[in-house]
Each structure stands twice: as C-alpha cells, then as structure tokens.
Structure 1
C-alpha cells in the first residue's frame, strides 16, 4: 500500500498563484500534508505535481492564504478573463486609495491627530491590507519571516508611533505592487496559455462507416480524421486521402503554407487552408508534437537557470540579514547615543520596507518565462533556463553538413556525353540500372530522368548485379552496361587521362562523379551533388556579424567536397572524413580550445556530438522525436534562419537578467544609505520597492519584442 502511495503522481493546474514567495509557501504547506511524499511547483507554468495522495480540498486549503484554485491537469476549464479592476483584491486596493485621499483631505482640514483623520486612515489600512495582515500575523506567530511579515510589522509599527498617514500610503502602494506583479506574471504566462489553445479539443472522425464528433482524449490510434478547409488539425497523423496546403506556423514558426499529399505527416494545431483531407491518427493526444512542445516549455521554465539559483540562494540569507539590520537601526541609537525612540523605530521600519526582496526574487524567472515563451511561438524549443543562458555565451558553432547546411537530397548537376550517344539515352541507361539500386545517388538519377520525361518502357534492365562499393551492371536493350565510380573503370583498364582531368575538376567543385560505359568504352559521365540550402550562406554571415568567433563544418564526406561547400557558404573551417565518434572528439577539442561550443545537426546520427556540445541544437524537430529528446534547443522548422534569432534572444535575456539583478540590488543599497540620515520616508521606501519590481518585470517583458 505504502509503495503504491509513493508512486501515485498527480498533476494540477493552478489559478491565482500571485508571487514567488506565495509559491514557496504553498509548496511548504503541501509538504506538511501527511499523505504527500513529494511536491514540485512550477511557478512559471502555474503547474503543480504531487507525489503521494492529497484531495483538491486539501491542496486548496494549503493555498487558501493566496486564494489559489487547484484544477486537475486534464480538466478543461474556460478561464474567465476578469478585467484588472474587477478582481476582488484590486477592488480593495481602489477602496483603500479612496479612503487614503479622504484621509489626506481630513488631515489638511481637521489636523493630523484628529480622531476622524486617524479613523479614515485606519479604514484605508484595514481595507487595503486585510489579506496582507491575515497572512503576516499568522507568519509572525510561527516566526516565518517573508515579505508579508516584514510589511505587517512595518505597518503596525507605523500605527504605534502615530504615523497613520504613512501606514495607509504603504498599504496602498504594497497592494498596488502586488496587483501589478500578478498582472505582469499573467502576461508572461500567456505565451504558454496561447500554446495550449492552439489545437482543437474535439474533432470529426470516422470509425468504420460512422462519422462522429469526439473529444481528443477519446480518439484512438488508426482513427480517421476528416479535416475540412479552414479547420485546424486536432491530432498528429498521416494523410491518406486528398491534398492541401497546411499552415504549420504554430509548430515550426514558418508562415509559408506547405503542400501535404498522401503519405505526408501532419501535426495537431496546424491549419488546413484550402483542400479537404482524411488523416489517419498516428499519435495519442498526450504524444502529439504540440503536447511535447507544451510539456517541454513548461519544464524548461521550472528548471533553475544558474543566475536564478544564485538569486534564490542570496535571498535565503538576505531577508534575515535585513531584519537584523532593521532591529539594530531601531534599537542601538536610542540605547547608546540618546536618539529619539520614535524617530529610530521609524527608520528601522523603513529598512524593513525597503528590504523586501520582491524585485530581486522575480528578476530572473520572469525574464526566462518570457524568453522561452517567445521562442516557442517562433518555432524554437529551448529546453531550460540553463540552455537559454549558455546559448547567449557561445563562441563557436559546429554544423553537420548533410541535411543541415545542405538539403540532404542529392541532385544531378552535370551530364556529359562521350562517344556518339544522346544525353537522354545516357540518362535512360543509367535510370534503368539504378532502378534496382538503393543508393541515394540512384534516386537523384531517377528523379532527373523523370523530370526530362524519359520512360523506363524504352530502357529495360535485366540481370542487374551490384558491385559492392563501386557501382552496378545490367543488360539494357541487349547490351551490358556498367555504372559506377571512376575506380570501377580504372580496374577495367580504360580510364583515359583526359577523362580523369574532367573528373577531378568536377570533384573539386564538391560533386560526386559516376561513369557509364561498357566493358570496352566509357560513353558518358553523370555528376551528382547535395545542394546547399539557399539560407546557409546568409545565416553563416549573420552569425559572424553578431560576433560568433568561428563556424566549423563536420562531415563524413571527402575533403574536396567539404572545402567546396565551406567556400560556398563562407565557413571558417572544415573537418572532413569524420565518423560519428570523430565528430564527438572534434566537439571535445573545440570545447577545450574555445569554451562554449554549439553543435547543430539533425538529431539522429549526431546524437553523441549534440550531447557533448555546450548547447546541442537539432534541426527540424517537428519531424523527429529524437531531435526533440536529444537536443537542448530544437529548431522545429527545417530552417537555419532561426539560429541567429535564438542566439540574439539568449544574449538579450542574459543582459536583461544581469540588468535586473544589478538594478534590484543597487536600488536597495541606495535606499538603505538614505535611511541612516533620515532622508527616506516609509512611503518612499515602499515606492522604491514597488518601482524596482515593476521596472524589473517591464524590462523582462521587452524580450517579447525580440524579432527574427
């Protein structure tokens, strides 16, 4: 029984989680439930994982201090969009402001010590600070010193020494700062919420002869989805009927629709533009690409980035230190140098208020949540704050060649006819033999022949035989023909020097040359090359422009092919003739030499190198689970253009996190210095704290504006 309880894992969505301190307290309260073994709270995603057993009532009771609502993960709840000023806590803030204004009016007409003035200010304090005091006083009895405890002590202290107006201003400004922090955090979280709303929750499916509308959770593998023009796809699958352009922007960030025909893969959350489609479901709802993206984005936000770990550690010692300093300031001058108790207690209270670590604690998570959410919308999946920060520090980027810098599909570039044959005839003979071959170069020749309208009915191959590692031979239209590498014909002793020179010239251009001939003569040659992506040279130039020191290509191809492609795209260096383990060693030596190195590959055969690099970046993550799982960052589209954007976003995030930490600490330090000569009033202290929190959040939200 105990073992079953230990393994019981439930995931919940949270509503009303307002601040990082509240999140920590909520988590602590849940841990105190007897039947709970472990709990993980993801503040950025408003998500709770409970290992053990707890009812929703117990969890909501643990979060009652902050009005947190707990919902099962798969329960569909339409979250009400309550306008900012209509929320209960914000109504209290507005009421507190109204009484504050009346209080100041009474103060100027009746005097500061008049009973009516004190009563109005006290009303303002009680209405605006009711929730704050409830938590603060409870914490005080348990000797838990968080932000709300500090504020409660400061406000009660202000009332005791007769600073009613100051106390009312502090309550109002604190309530306002809480409301603005909550609003800003909601803005940052919207990036995830919008991802969750991408795919429809129901779909029209056909089972046997029946058509029915079903919830996505009830759709099974092999069900047939019926997709009409203008509809979004609810599930991942394979097209089995029809053809249409699909806008995949939600998954890959690419706004140009892609034509999908029978046999093509399609993704949940993408938009069918004009044709009707029938799609066979290939993944359950929890395994769809969009579900994986949402899960990974949420987990990424929960993962502590190095700077966040520093802030959390610092804040742990910082709050007790502030309380100790406040106590010393309030007590030492009156006791030892004859200071006025009322004046120095006031200054001690100002230290408590200004010492609130709100801005510091929120400085990193809000920037990371915003950056990762922005990237996900653009089709870049960053799997954690640590990878976001590391990408901003990269010095060297290594690229796999095939499928990354090149298209990965070879094309015929040159056809040269020798001895009295036509070009179409040479291609027809080649096609007939290569029809039986599995080699990638064979498919390039067949595609070229089909483009030129050559029919295989005119060229029939018989007695096909593969010559391992060199080529193949077959009888075509009663004659025996060979097709293969220059070495094959060298062995047959008829490779003239003039032809060898032509072959070398083509090889220097990065082309693979195949000769066609009989056992007596060579009748022609076909050159094939993997075509460089149109975007490659532009992307490499952009990377060098933004300060990447070195771009390296890693390829299993020969040096000549590697050099030709490197020259074409503008790379700094080429490492050729590499096996997968050689790529791994190369990445290790680059890390020793330069420190921070990224590897960009397709995520399948490059897995070891991707894992060894500081940051592993996979191309075309939407099509391969391996890419999403192996890499630290996945470019969901098969598009290198997202790479410079990702690095710039990471650098901007790093800069903003540093600015936030320096600003939050700098402002605190300045305020503490101003307290000693008595220049800092209580309301100025809270204003400084609120201002710092607000500036840190607004500064982080600038990451939403980073463009491609």
Structure 2
C-alpha cells in the first residue's frame, strides 16, 4: 500500500493512504491489520480522511515495511475483517444528526410561515397521542408533560416554541438511541466468542483447526470448562451446560445425545462430541445483543432511582403549573412552569452516563456486563486476588523436569503435555509449551481424561493409572508414594518454584518445576488501589504455604491464604460480605468460578477459562493489571458524575420553575432553557470520565 507520513512523534505516527476514497470495509480491514501487527499498541483508521493513527513500540523501519506490504486483496487479509463493525452504525447516526440539524436550519430560513405551521402540526401528532394515552391509562409520566406543553403552545398559536420543543426532544432521543446502540454494540463485540481454534474429530483422531474451517456437519470435541463455539447437537457424551449467558439460568442444564447446545454456552461438567448445525456467523452476536438489551443487569441503581424519581416528579410539576395559574390567573406563567420538568434530564442523562462509562471502560480493554457492577466497583472496599494467572503472569514456564523412579525427563514431559493439553489453565499451557519448545510431539496415548477441579488430572495409560497435579492430590487423595531411595532427592526440590507432581501406577514419576513470575506491575497496582479507597487486599491460592508467602511478600497484599480449594475461596468471599464488606474477586481459572459468583463483583482475566469469563460480571485483558485501576477510577468518576447530574437537574429546573412562576421567563424561554439544559447534561454524560 502506498501512503504518506503526515505527522510523526516518538512512538506515534499518522499516515495518509494514497487513495481518494476509503470504504467502511476497507477501513475495518486496515485497522484490523494494523492492530494485529507486532509492536503496534493501538491503531485507529479514519475512513473519511483516509488516515490512520498508529501508536507503536517496534522499530520504525519495521513498521513502515509492514504497512507497505498491506493490500486489501492480499491473501489472509480478508479473514481479518470483523464480523461486526461499529463504523456503519456511527456513520448512520452521524448522517441522521447532521441531516436533522440542517433540515431545522432550512425550515427556519426558507419555509414560509404556513408551511412551518403545517409541519409543526404534523410532527406534534405522535407527542399528543402519547400524552393522551398516558392520560387515558391514568399514568402521570413525562410523555403527558411533553404532550401538554406542545399542545398548549399550539393552542396559543406559539408554533415556534412547540417546534423548538419537539426538535430538542427529537435530538435528545436520537443521541440517546445512538449512544445506547453504540454501547450495546461495543459490549456485544467484546463479549462475542474469542475462539480461534477447535478440536475437530477426523478418522485419524482429533486435530486442532481454525474455527473458520469448521463446516456444518463436522464433529468437534469440547471438554469441561470449554466454550461451545458453534450451535450444535450432542452426538456423544453427557454434560452439564452453563447457559447463563443466553438464558439467565443460574443452574447448569443437563444435555444428552440428541439435544441442542448453543454457541457461547459453557460445558461445566463432562465432555462431549458435537455435530455442528450452524457455521460461525452472526447468531451468537445477535443473541448477545438481545441478552444485553433485555437484561436487568444493565439497570444500575442510579438508573432505577432516576427513572422512579422522574415519574414521581411529574405530578408535582402539574400541581406547580396549576398553582401558578390559580395564584396569578396568568396562563403564560402556568405554561412556563409546565414547560419545565425534571423527568427529561433525569431519565435521559443517567442511562447515558452509565452506558457511556461502560463504553469508556471497553477502551481500556475492560468489558462490563451491567451498570450496577460499575457502582459496586466504586463502592468496594475489599479486593480478593487469585494468584496464578492473575497476580502472576498468565504464561508460567517450565523451569525444569526432575524425573524419579528411573524415568527419562523427556518422556515424562511428553506424557504430562499429553494430559495437560486438554485443559485451559496457565500451568497446563506451560507444560504443553515446554514440550513443544523441545520438539516433543505425541499421539493420544491415554484413555478418557478426568479433571478434578483444583486438584489435578487422572487418566489411564495402558493398564496403569496416571495422575498429575498438586501434592495434596497426588500424595493424599491418590496415596502415591516416592520411589525407594529417592526421599532425600525429593526433600531437596528447588523451593523457589511451584511443583506439579506426575505419578504412574501409584508411584512418583516426575516433578515439574514451574516458574510463575510475579507481574511487574502487581505491587504498583495494589498500592494504586489503596490510594483509590480499597481498604483490604487479599490473595487466595491453591499453592503451598511457601510459594504463597513469597508472592504475598513481593506484591504487598494485606493477607493471604494458601492451599485453598474452590469452595474455600467462595466461603472466604461470602464471609467478607457477611461482615459488611463490598468485595471484588479477580480470577482466571475454572477453580475461581464459585468465588467469582459469590462476590459483589466477579472480574475474570479475558484469556482465562471460558467458564470464568461467562460467570464473571466484568472481564479485563491479560496485558496489564492497571486496567483495574482504570476501572476503579471510571466507576468512582461515574458516581460523582451522577450525583453532579442530580444536583444540576434539580437546581437548574427548580430555578426555571421559580422564575416562570414569578413571570421572569416566558413559556418559550422556559422551554428553550429546559431543553437546552437537558441536552447539555446529556452531552456531558456522554463524555469520557478520565479525560
């Protein structure tokens, strides 16, 4: 691709593509290409100007070469296109907004008076109809005030005021609809499936293939903790499926051969072979959009309070208007009061503030599934961390393999990788990666794998039972023993590492030493959270006391608990809540799921286990824990903005009512100031909280 560098500074470059016009699809392709380019931190493409702004940390010449190699029709580029893009949505609403403002200006400047009056009468019909409908149903809502104010203005032949009121109401509705759809779209895309490969059943065995290669009728394997990638029917196996993301059911549903399962649900227990009934496409996205729009999770306490207060204030506005007329016998003063109500701003600004905060959080790689969770994050005083993959890096590495019982190091690593590759946990990934790095390929050589949450994995190779997992699982639950004459060697295992124990036939065969380094930002993040009001930080881990103590000392948590089981984590969270604390739980694995559910806010690492992401209320990217700090700041700023909005709406509109009663404002001025204030507070609610 040919391009020109328009502006450049350290780590940032703005380029202009050598093309006269850029289609929306081309902008999406270029942006996706740049974002997946190594060394690029962020890339934004502006299709109207054919420009791209790139923030990078790689070598400048390397970046320029990669951009120059880009072509819209190059092999593999088309696959980068997102299934859903917000560009078309934004373009549609931008054009609607500009069109309505331009049409308003044309009407005011060029339409003759009779035509303007006729247009106003025609536009008023829906508002008058909604007002009459409220009245007939005996409901005093904001629609009644809108209808009364517009109707009375037209009865008084003040068509300019009626037209201005309707224009501002229409503009506010358009902005609310745009923001809501954009926020829902952003959330849905963040929550959409993040699966790129699946296990395809073939005559020669299971093969790991890209998701887009799977076709209707293919058979795929999904095991416990795995996300079902496509709409399918179960062909083999019985499983318990968590369908909360689609149906809201809190209890897993049993699924047997012949029953249907849906993309995005999670296999909570068991494993199965699925027959694909629908290829990768838009069904999952559409279901998520419907779920978000219908879910009560979107309703925060602030939104419910605003909605209820708005409806409660409508009768008072009507009474105030009536009193103004009775006291002054002046229709103009009564109409000035009627033109002002608290409902518009309260009902419009609060949901916009919450949805905009959720949208802003997504720019920091944080997906919030409902407004009420932002409020809980702002009020939280306790945060509980899982250790592995959360406070430590999500990709621990194998530091060494110590064989026992005469086994070879390579064969033990090969066997461990064969067992661990089926389960999406960071330590399992480390074992699989170590085998891959050493070129240790393997075929499936074991029978059905049994995964015991927070303990380990058990299977059978030949006639012997093979187990891999924690010391508690291997030596206590499975009663495995150390080979004769090797106790001293076992007692001198390196203490700086976590250990995975592999036993064959009831006897220890190898110890895999796992180095799980602490995240470089972990200590700074915990200190930052304390400065933002978090009073208690806790680390829970299934690791040994020795490992837990070392990590806790490095990261600086207030307390830690080692060798805990999933139910222990959940009980700890419940106990903290029982003492009156508002608790955030942060985890990444299947074993964190009970605690994530028990917390006021469950936060999952986005590349952790699928079930943890589905159960969690919020997900964050795995790149940087400072996203937690940004989340806390956004949530706290949101509450301050909501309180500020309340004060402004009540104070400003109260002043307008007082001025209208005193005769200092005409009805037209009252309506204009009221609607402009509503529009202003709504636009302010749409702005970023952290800028």
Instruction: Confirm or deny a common fold (TM above 0.5).
Output: yes
Contact 2:342 2:650 in 1 (8 A): no
Coordinate RMSD, CA, aligned: 5.1
**How far did 1:536 drift?**
3.7
Change (3 A) 1:190 1:547: same
**What does 1:575-614 correspond to in 2, within 5 Å?**
575-593=561-579, 595-602=581-588, 604-614=590-600
Note if 1:192 corresponds to 2:178. no
**What does 1:391-430 correspond to in 2, within 5 Å?**
391-407=377-393, 411-413=397-399, 429-430=408-409
Counterpart among 350, 353, 356 of residue 336 in structure 2: 350
Note if 1:222 corresponds to 2:233. no
Map Cα deviations across residues 615-643 of structure 1 (whole Å, 9 max, x no partner): 111222x6754224322123365764533
Unaligned runs of 5+ in 1: 1-73, 104-118, 201-207, 209-215, 225-234, 238-267, 270-279, 334-338, 417-423, 457-461, 472-484, 517-523
Q: TM-score, normalised by structure 1?
A: 0.58
CA distance in 2, matches of 1:561, 1:394: 28
User: What is the SS of the residue equivalent to 1:81?
Assistant: helix
377-386 or 121-130: bigger deviation: 121-130
**How far did 1:85 drift?**
6.6
Note if 1:170 corresponds to 2:161. yes
CA distance in 2, matches of 1:591, 1:598: 10
**What does 1:130-149 correspond to in 2, within 5 Å?**
131-133=126-128, 135-136=130-131, 145-149=140-144
Map Cα deviations across residues 649-683 of structure 1 (whole Å, 9 max, x no partner): 32232222222222212212222222333222212
Counterpart among 482, 488, 498 of residue 495 in structure 1: 488
Q: Which residue does 2:309 correspond to in 1?
A: 314
Q: TM-score, normalised by structure 2?
A: 0.59
Counterpart among 641, 647, 668 of residue 662 in structure 1: 647
**How far did 1:311 drift?**
1.8
438-447 or 285-294: bigger deviation: 438-447
Q: Which residue does 1:114 correspond to in 2?
A: none
CA distance in 2, matches of 1:533, 1:401: 10
CA distance in 2, matches of 1:627, 1:442: 16
**What does 1:198-217 correspond to in 2, within 5 Å?**
none
Q: Which residue does 1:97 correspond to in 2?
A: 108
Contact 1:603 1:631 in 2 (8 A): no
Counterpart among 376, 386, 410 of residue 431 in structure 1: 410
**What does 1:343-492 correspond to in 2, within 5 Å?**
344-355=330-341, 357-376=343-362, 379-407=365-393, 411-413=397-399, 429-433=408-412, 435-436=414-415, 488=482, 492=485
Contact 2:499 2:513 in 1 (8 A): yes
CA distance in 2, matches of 1:546, 1:638: 21
User: What is the SS of the residue equivalent to 2:338?
Assistant: helix
Counterpart among 632, 643, 646 of residue 647 in structure 1: 632
Change (3 A) 1:294 1:670: same
Q: Which residue does 1:564 correspond to in 2?
A: 550
Unaligned runs of 5+ in 2: 1-83, 194-201, 203-211, 221-228, 232-262, 265-274, 421-426, 443-461, 472-478, 504-509
CA distance in 2, matches of 1:593, 1:542: 24
Contact 2:416 2:468 in 1 (8 A): no
CA distance in 2, matches of 1:426, 1:453: 24
Contact 2:339 2:667 in 1 (8 A): yes
Change (3 A) 1:408 1:317: closer
Contact 2:404 2:486 in 1 (8 A): no
**How far did 1:554 drift?**
0.4
CA distance in 1, matches of 2:465, 2:215: 48
Map Cα deviations across residues 600-624 of structure 1 (whole Å, 9 max, x no partner): 122522222111111111222x675
User: What is the SS of the residue equivalent to 1:574?
Assistant: strand
Change (3 A) 1:405 1:300: farther
User: What is the SS of the residue equivalent to 2:643?
Assistant: helix
Q: Which residue does 1:324 correspond to in 2?
A: 319
Change (3 A) 1:557 1:588: same
User: What is the SS of the residue equivalent to 1:363?
Assistant: helix
Contact 1:428 1:449 in 2 (8 A): no
**How far did 1:393 drift?**
1.6
Contact 2:584 2:599 in 1 (8 A): yes
Map Cα deviations across residues 28-78 of structure 1 (whole Å, 9 max, x no partner): xxxxxxxxxxxxxxxxxxxxxxxxxxxxxxxxxxxxxxxxxxxxxx9xxx9
User: What is the SS of the residue equivalent to 2:516?
Assistant: strand
Structure 1 or 2, whichever has the larger Rg, is 1
CA distance in 1, matches of 2:167, 2:684: 18
Q: Which residue does 2:540 correspond to in 1?
A: 554
Change (3 A) 1:313 1:529: same
CA distance in 2, matches of 1:442, 1:662: 53
**How far did 1:97 drift?**
3.1
**How far did 1:510 drift?**
5.0
Map Cα deviations across residues 522-572 of structure 1 (whole Å, 9 max, x no partner): xx9985433434554454344334332232110122211101122233333
CA distance in 2, matches of 1:360, 1:126: 28
**How far did 1:350 drift?**
1.0
Contact 1:396 1:594 in 2 (8 A): no
CA distance in 1, matches of 2:125, 2:502: 88
Note if 1:694 corresponds to 2:673. no
Map Cα deviations across residues 281-304 of structure 1 (whole Å, 9 max, x no partner): 797557976556544543457742
**How far did 1:428 drift?**
8.7
Note if 1:681 corresponds to 2:666. yes
CA distance in 2, matches of 1:150, 1:455: 73
CA distance in 1, matches of 2:429, 2:609: 23
Matched pairs, number: 498
Contact 1:470 1:487 in 2 (8 A): no
Contact 2:416 2:502 in 1 (8 A): no
Contact 1:368 1:385 in 2 (8 A): yes
Contact 2:297 2:369 in 1 (8 A): no
Change (3 A) 1:221 1:535: farther
